[in-house]
Amino acid sequence: MVARQDQTTDPELLEALLQARRGTAFFARKLNELTDDELDGPSLLPGWNRRHVTAHIGYNARAIARLLEWASTGVETPMYASTEARDHEISFGATLSPIALRNLFDHSAVHLNVEWRDLPEQAWHHQVKTAQGREVPAGETVWMRTREVWTHAVDLDNGASFADIPVSVLGRLLRDITGAWKTRGTHSGLLITVTGTDLTYGDTAAENPTVITGTLPGITQWATGRGTHAVTATQNGVPLENVPAAPKWI
């Protein structure tokens, strides 16, 4: 029997799907390395243990699959009924038995992958709406999932780091974050530079900025609010004792 393939033939979209699937496989590996008892351990996210992170990733796949159903049928199918419904869903999922929680992740990931695979070429351009109310083409769901699985694999606090995330994913994530800061005006006085590159983000017009410098993984980790490893801060060329917290991005 011939294996079914993605209906899309767009090379950029196929590459994006590959990164999303690799991220899903990476999350699965870090999850499967944890024993059932270790699922009760803390994650890197305040207020969430590893169960919450796993439940979120499982239900996120289902939510994104609903957007693909919307793109395919034209019938509006929101990701979540409300923010409260999303939060309740995650809280409930965190109480599932270990086998049920693992099955939630596995089955929802397969379901989402099938929805991506079977979405007709033209449907990828149909508009859907994110949980934040943004109207985006269905193709954006691939990036929405990519950033979730890669960053939350790190949040499981099981040995993964931002250095494990592909450079292309880190670069886009950093552009998204700094773009959100600029839109809100929260980047004022911050200049971000990535060592070994000519990449510069933030308030490039500031006369006396606080300069945040680090590797791409380090800067992205800092920008997502997940630590300051491999990151330094200076002002007027003088090192600061503490790296300031990054502005909120979501």
* Domains present along the chain, CATH in parentheses: 11-160 (1.20.120.450), 167-239 (3.30.1050.20)
How far is 93 from 144, CA to CA, in rounded Å? 21
Answer yes or no: are the C-beta atoms of 70 and 23 closer than 8 Å: no
pLDDT recorded at residue 187: 86
How far is 187 from 27, CA to CA, in rounded Å? 31
Q: Which of 22, 103, 6 is nearest to 58 (CA)?
A: 103
DSSP lists the bridge partners of residue 9 as none
Q: Which of 208, 197, 218 is nearest to 238 (CA)?
A: 208
Q: Per residue, what are the HEC states of the chain? A: CCCCCCCCCCHHHHHHHHHHHHHHHHHHHHHHCCCCHHHHCECCCCCCEHHHHHHHHHHHHHHHHHHHHHHHHCCCCCCCCCHHHHHHHHHHHCCCCHHHHHHHHHHHHHHHHHHHHHCCHHHHHCEEECCCCCEEECCHHHHHHHHHHHHHHHHCCCCCCHHHCCHHHHHHHHHHHHHHHHHHCCCCCEEEEECCCCCEEECCCCCCCEEEEECHHHHHHHHCCCCCCCEEEEECCEECCCCCCCCCCC
Alpha carbon distances (Å) from 172 to 143, 144, 154, 205:
9, 11, 17, 22
pLDDT recorded at residue 207: 85
pTM of the model: 0.93
DSSP 79: S
From first to last of its 250 residues, the chain has per-residue pLDDT tens of 444 799 999 999 999 999 999 999 999 999 999 999 999 999 999 999 999 999 999 999 999 999 999 999 999 999 998 999 999 999 999 999 999 999 999 999 999 999 999 999 999 999 999 988 899 999 999 999 999 999 999 999 999 999 999 999 999 999 999 999 998 888 889 999 999 888 889 888 888 899 999 999 999 999 999 999 889 999 988 999 999 999 988 7
pLDDT recorded at residue 185: 86
pLDDT recorded at residue 1: 42
